[in-house]
């Protein structure tokens, strides 16, 4: 039986990372110049990793699917980034950030990885301030903080509602410096289509020039990918439309494990779906829950009147409003974790209290905050978010409460990695949202930016050296080797197969069909029956895709439909992995909610005795069921408890 080695260092929890750094192997400066590292992705994780590795003296090849690293989806992050600085003197600490993150993930993450994340968080803020990131400051000039879900302290640093953009500009400036120095070679508008394995190690990639359509080969002593999550499997999500999980699938089919695929996060504050021709959804930052209060009408007849346009929400008296999160979870109120808030919104809407034309919306109301703080203060904190909402919905949120509803936002699952961020393929590393390592079954708000920059700036630059230390005598390999030729041939044959189908269905129509299956059967609430339906339907969609898709244009030229088709083929694979993983995990935890496993009050019912493990799915062939391997989550330092946000 395959044994999974997570390589967690020995010693007390608080000393593991220090012990690792003190005992790891290093590469001296002269030898670093002899080593090539491929970094795929230029979001926060990819850009920070490429910049840091270039600064150390490695030769870095950095691949960007966009025309500029500044267009990575990291730019869309709004609310903030967590760190345990305790500037507010409100009781925060590294341990509390660690514990909140572990608890928020419903005890389905590794202790050691999560503690390391909390431990390096403070360095991220110092790094970004040094880069000139314009974090919000208090009147006296000190960095300001606000609260996010799942915490009772204020530890989130922010730049209005544009935190991701500002952090990405900081990482981009560091990357640009290394590009200018010649340590990093940047390849824009390139998409990785396969990883090349030579004698069991990752030694390069096959990539497609998206402008010319040319397939090219690239060698690296190690390959790193920070290519984000797979939320677009659902078609409608808050992700950028180009976001995809294809590199994770490519790694999976070459032997890397896919971990916890069913752990997908549904964000509670998104602008509701408003039409069948919609192609993506818009996030409204979790930071809005600092001052906004979430409610629905107490009476069904009021909800029906609002849906029919006969009653305005502003006309509803205070005593006729149900602030259901404050009622159910008095200790955390509107700042419960995302999975809890999302399920509560779904429950109210399913019970008939939803608002909006479809009844699938709840209110996020700022009238109290405006009365307490003044409109100008609310505008200072959230002005760009309010402006964005008004442009999309054509309603003034300063006057009328925002309407929000949960939507797919982030994926906690991803490529399995050990403590060193290395996959089960030696020499292949996965960072940021692309891996599974830090968030368990649910990510807390403002922790995605923290993980991406932690991996890129502070973790990978150490751990990759431990791998490369015995590679310094390995010469640069020719891309004419048979392994490169075989990988390129496989990619070309796949493209040709797609182009030759010449069916009747557009790529988008099949993607949308997959998304509906995923949302209806593998979405916020899952059952054994719904997951069985999902697996059956996904197999049917896969068959339809490979027999009836139509891709116009040519395969060896600029072709955006071909790009989409390659990604949708991978989304189909991911969708099946998500469904089978959810089917196998007979419990409810975090973002994975099986309706059969819940307490009487509707809270998630974990089964620690049977399911306290990382599910690692191993590829066994195109027409074979994946094999489930398990990495036990043995907690040494924390006692698992039922999550409680009520007291």
262: helix, strand or coil: coil
- The single residue of 108, 293, 328, 338 carrying the catalytic annotation is 338
Element (H, E) at 181: helix 163-181
Q: What are the phi and psi torsion angles at 549 (to 5°)?
A: -80, 150
β-bridge mates for residue 645, sequence order: none
The CA-CA-CA angle for residues 46, 52, 53, to 5°, reads: 90
Tokens of 404: 């929000």
Tokens 């640009």 sit at which residue?
A: 176
CA–CA separation, 182 vs 289, rounded Å?
45
How many residues belong to the chain? 647
CA–CA separation, 607 vs 199, rounded Å?
41
Q: Classify burial at 65, counting beta carbons within 10 Å of its beta carbon; exposed 0-12, middle 13-18, buried 19 or more.
A: buried
Q: Classify burial at 187, counting beta carbons within 10 Å of its beta carbon; exposed 0-12, middle 13-18, buried 19 or more.
A: middle
Q: C-alpha dihedral over 636, 637, 643, 647, to 10 degrees? A: 160
569, 499 Cβ separation under 8 angstroms: no
161, 77 Cβ separation under 8 angstroms: no
CA–CA separation, 422 vs 63, rounded Å?
19
Q: What are the phi and psi torsion angles at 242 (to 5°)?
A: -85, -10
β-bridge mates for residue 208, sequence order: 191, 215
Tell which residue, 434, 461, 460, has the closest CA to residue 448: 434
Q: Is residue 453 left, alpha or beta, with left meaning phi > 0 and alpha meaning psi from -120 to 50? A: alpha
Q: Is residue 333 left, alpha or beta, with left meaning phi > 0 and alpha meaning psi from -120 to 50? A: left
The CA-CA-CA angle for residues 515, 521, 527, to 5°, reads: 160
Tokens of 175: 């990357």
CA 268 to chain centre: 15
Tell which residue, 230, 173, 184, 206, has the closest CA to residue 415: 230
262, 578 Cβ separation under 8 angstroms: yes
- Residue 632 has what DSSP assignment? E
**Residue 643 appears among annotated catalytic residues:** no
Q: What are the phi and psi torsion angles at 155 (to 5°)?
A: -130, 10
CA–CA separation, 214 vs 327, rounded Å?
59
The residues that are catalytic are: 338
């Amino acid at each position: 039986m395959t044994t999974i080695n997570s390589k967690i260092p020995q010693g007390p929890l608080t000393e593991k990372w220090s012990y690792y750094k003190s005992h790891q192997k290093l590469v001296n400066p002269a030898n670093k110049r002899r080593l090539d590292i491929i970094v795929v992705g230029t979001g926060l994780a990819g850009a920070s990793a490429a910049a840091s590795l270039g600064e150390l003296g490695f030769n870095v090849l950095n691949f960007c699917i966009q025309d500029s690293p500044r267009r990575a989806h990291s730019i869309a992050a709004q609310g903030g980034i967590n760190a345990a600085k305790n500037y507010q003197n409100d009781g925060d600490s590294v341990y509390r950030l660690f514990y909140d993150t572990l608890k928020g993930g419903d005890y389905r993450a590794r202790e050691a990885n999560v503690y390391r994340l909390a431990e390096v968080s403070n360095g991220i803020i110092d790094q970004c301030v040094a880069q000139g990131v314009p974090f919000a400051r208090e009147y006296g000039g000190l960095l300001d903080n606000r609260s996010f879900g799942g915490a009772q302290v204020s530890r989130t640093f922010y730049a209005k509602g544009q935190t991701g953009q500002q952090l990405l500009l900081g990482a981009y400036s560091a990357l640009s410096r290394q590009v200018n120095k010649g340590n990093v070679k940047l390849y824009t508008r390139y998409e990785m289509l396969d990883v090349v394995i030579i004698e069991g190690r990752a030694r390069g990639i096959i990539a497609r020039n998206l402008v010319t359509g040319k397939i090219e080969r690239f060698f690296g002593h190690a390959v790193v990918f920070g290519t984000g999550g797979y939320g677009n499997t659902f078609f409608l999500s808050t992700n950028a439309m180009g976001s995809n999980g294809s590199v994770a699938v490519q790694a999976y089919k070459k032997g890397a494990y896919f971990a916890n695929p069913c752990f997908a996060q549904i964000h509670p504050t998104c602008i509701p779906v408003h039409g069948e021709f919609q192609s993506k959804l818009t996030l409204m930052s979790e930071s809005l829950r600092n001052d906004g209060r979430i409610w629905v009408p107490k009476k069904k007849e009021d909800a029906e009147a609002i849906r029919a346009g006969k009653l305005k929400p502003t006309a509803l008296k205070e005593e006729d409003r149900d602030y259901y999160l404050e009622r159910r979870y008095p200790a955390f109120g509107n700042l419960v974790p995302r999975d809890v808030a999302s399920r509560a919104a779904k429950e109210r809407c399913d019970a008939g209290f939803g608002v909006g034309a479809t009844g699938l919306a709840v209110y996020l109301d700022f009238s109290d905050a405006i009365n307490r703080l003044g409109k100008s203060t609310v505008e200072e904190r959230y002005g760009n978010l309010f402006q964005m909402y008004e442009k999309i919905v054509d309603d003034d949120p300063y006057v009328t409460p925002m309407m929000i509803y949960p939507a797919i936002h982030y994926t906690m699952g991803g490529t399995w990695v050990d403590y060193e961020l290395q996959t089960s393929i030696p020499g292949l590393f996965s960072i940021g949202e692309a891996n599974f390592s830090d968030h368990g079954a649910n990510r807390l708000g403002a922790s995605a930016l923290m993980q991406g920059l932690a991996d890129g700036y502070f973790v990978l630059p150490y751990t990759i050296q431990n791998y490369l230390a015995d590679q310094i005598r390995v010469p640069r390999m020719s891309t004419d080797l048979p392994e490169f030729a075989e990988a390129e041939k496989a990619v070309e044959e796949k493209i040709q197969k797609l182009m030759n189908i010449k069916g009747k269905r557009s790529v988008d129509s099949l993607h949308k069909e997959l998304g509906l299956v995923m949302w209806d059967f593998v979405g916020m609430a899952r059952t054994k029956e719904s997951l069985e339906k999902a697996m059956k339907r996904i197999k049917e969609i896969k068959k339809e895709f490979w027999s009836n898709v139509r891709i116009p244009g040519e395969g060896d030229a600029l072709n955006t439909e071909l790009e989409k088709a390659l990604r949708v083929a991978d989304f189909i694979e991911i969708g099946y992995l998500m469904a089978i993983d959810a089917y196998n995990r007979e419990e409810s935890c975090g973002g994975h909610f099986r309706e059969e496993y819940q307490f009487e009050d509707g809270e998630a019912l974990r089964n620690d005795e049977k399911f306290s493990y990382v599910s690692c799915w191993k590829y066994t062939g195109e027409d074979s069921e994946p094999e489930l391997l398990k990495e036990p989550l043995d907690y040494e330092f924390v006692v698992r408890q039922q999550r409680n946000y009520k007291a």
